[in-house]
């Protein structure tokens, strides 16, 4: 303003024109110093704020929750003094608070589900392979749950999987005989659900549940007598019903993929 007046003093303009220039300069400096918006600017700012707040209230915005909070703060700082905007600010704050609560609840549900799954993996009652357990563990790791208890369980399961990978696998004959005995022991202990799980897992070794099983009841030289033919599923259920494993594996026939297509047993 002082610069404008000093310049005017050096000129010889008419008084009326000089006064107009001074008033215009003073008005311009006043707007700059106060930062006030014009009516047009304020109207546009109010409409924009309404649109932005509506997206937060409806949770249709693509902004993250921290960015939503930041946007609401920016709108508040503009001091638009509009009743509708003020009401929408309150609604937006409530919507953000509710979204945070839902996010926390969903995260806890994921943590609880992962914990239960990891504990099951440690027990491995279904007899899953190391590769199957590793795939499940990798899926849990990918969730990045950032929970100390989950992290501890992940380490424990990984140690179990590594031990399974490093230990030599049992021969198929031994695995089958262990399964037969496991079914019988579970049934004898009054745990039919455990017996059914072992049966289900054992059937995976075979081409089909009705793969034939022949039981040798007598063998002398080249003379061999068999009991009535059965299937692997019926034989496993027989072990469950009798609560005993009476036969050992004598011979195994496998297909090209390694699945058992026929099994010969012999009385112990």
What digits encode the pLDDT tens for the residues 190-230? 999 999 999 999 999 999 999 999 999 999 888 999 999 99
Provide the pLDDT confidence category of residue 168 given band limits of 50, 70 and 90.
low
Give the pLDDT score at 26: 46
Rounded CA-CA distance 83/235 in Å is 79
Provide the pLDDT confidence category of residue 35 given band limits of 50, 70 and 90.
low
Mark which of 151, 166, 181 sits at the end of a domain: 166
Residues 218 and 237 in one domain: yes
Mean pLDDT, all residues of the chain: 87
> H-type helices in 168-231, by residue range?
172-188, 192-203
| Residue 59 pLDDT > 90 | yes
Give the pLDDT score at 28: 45
Residues 250 and 195 in one domain: yes
Q: Do the domain assignments include residue 85? A: no
Residues 130-159 have a mean pLDDT of: 94
Q: Do the domain assignments include residue 203? A: yes
Q: Do the domain assignments include residue 84? A: no
| Per-residue pLDDT tens digits for 19-34 | 444 455 444 444 443 4
CA nearest neighbour of 137 among 145, 231, 245: 145
Residues 146 and 192 in one domain: no
We report the CATH number of the domain holding residue 202 as: 3.10.450
Q: Do the domain assignments include residue 112? A: yes
Residues 239 and 255 in one domain: yes
Backbone angles phi, psi at 123, to 5 degrees: -75, -40
Give the pLDDT score at 109: 95
Give the pLDDT score at 37: 83
Give the pLDDT score at 1: 52
Mark which of 116, 136, 166 sits at the end of a domain: 166
Q: Do the domain assignments include residue 147? A: yes
* pTM of structure: 0.44
Residues 9-14 have a mean pLDDT of: 48
- Give me the percent of the chain exceeding a pLDDT of 90: 70
Give the pLDDT score at 129: 84
Q: Do the domain assignments include residue 61? A: no
More confident residue, 128 or 223: 223
> Which residues make beta-bridge pairs with 267?
247
Give the three-class secondary structure for 60: coil
Residues 201 and 245 in one domain: yes
Q: Do the domain assignments include residue 138? A: yes
Number of domains in the chain: 3
Residues 159 and 178 in one domain: no
Of all residues in the chain, what percent are helix, strand and coil, respectively (each to 5)?
Answer: 65, 10, 25
> Which residues make beta-bridge pairs with 159?
none
In order of 129, 171, 175, 244, the CA distances from 168 in angstroms are: 13, 9, 12, 28
More confident residue, 189 or 4: 189
Residues 132 and 210 in one domain: no
Residues 154 and 184 in one domain: no
| Residue 67 pLDDT > 80 | yes
- Give me the percent of the chain exceeding a pLDDT of 70: 86
Give the three-class secondary structure for 132: helix
Residues 147 and 118 in one domain: yes
Residues 159 and 238 in one domain: no
Q: Do the domain assignments include residue 206? A: yes
Residues 54-74 have a mean pLDDT of: 96
| Per-residue pLDDT tens digits for 181-198 | 999 999 999 999 999 999
Residues 208 and 238 in one domain: yes
In terms of C-beta distances under 8 Å and separation of at least 24 residues, what long-range contacts does 68-71 make, across chains too? 68/92, 68/96, 68/99, 69/96
Rounded CA-CA distance 25/30 in Å is 9
> Which residues make beta-bridge pairs with 262?
253
Backbone angles phi, psi at 260, to 5 degrees: -80, 125
More confident residue, 22 or 115: 115
Provide the pLDDT confidence category of residue 247 given band limits of 50, 70 and 90.
very high
Task: Give the range of the structural domain holding residue 211, as residue numbers without chain letter.
Answer: 172-267
Residues 182 and 246 in one domain: yes
Residues 145-154 have a mean pLDDT of: 94
Quick check: 235 and 202 in contact, CB under 8 A?
no
């Amino acid at each position: 303003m002082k610069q404008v007046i000093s310049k005017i003093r050096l000129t010889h303009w008419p008084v009326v024109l000089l006064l107009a220039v001074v008033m215009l300069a003073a008005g311009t400096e006043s707007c700059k110093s106060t930062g006030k918006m014009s009516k047009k600017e304020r109207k546009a700012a109010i409409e924009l704020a309404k649109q932005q707040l509506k997206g937060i209230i409806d949770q249709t915005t693509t902004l993250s929750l921290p960015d939503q909070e930041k946007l609401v703060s920016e709108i508040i700082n503009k001091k638009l003094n509009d009743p509708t905007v003020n009401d929408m600010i309150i609604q937006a704050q409530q919507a953000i608070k509710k979204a945070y609560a839902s996010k926390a609840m969903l995260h806890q549900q994921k943590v609880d589900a992962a914990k239960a799954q990891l504990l099951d993996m440690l027990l491995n009652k279904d007899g899953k392979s190391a590769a199957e357990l590793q795939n499940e563990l990798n899926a849990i790791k990918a969730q990045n749950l950032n929970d100390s208890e989950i992290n501890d369980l992940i380490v424990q399961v990984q140690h179990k999987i590594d031990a399974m990978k490093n230990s030599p696998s049992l021969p198929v004959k031994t695995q089958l005989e262990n399964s037969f005995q496991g079914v019988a022991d579970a049934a004898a202990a009054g745990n039919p659900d455990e017996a059914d799980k072992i049966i289900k897992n054992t059937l995976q070794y075979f081409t089909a549940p009705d793969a034939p099983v022949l039981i040798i009841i007598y063998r002398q030289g080249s003379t061999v007598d068999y009991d009535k033919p059965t299937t692997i599923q019926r034989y496993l259920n027989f072990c469950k019903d009798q609560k005993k494993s009476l036969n050992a594996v004598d011979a195994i026939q496998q297909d090209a993929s390694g699945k058992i297509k026929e099994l010969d047993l012999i009385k112990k």
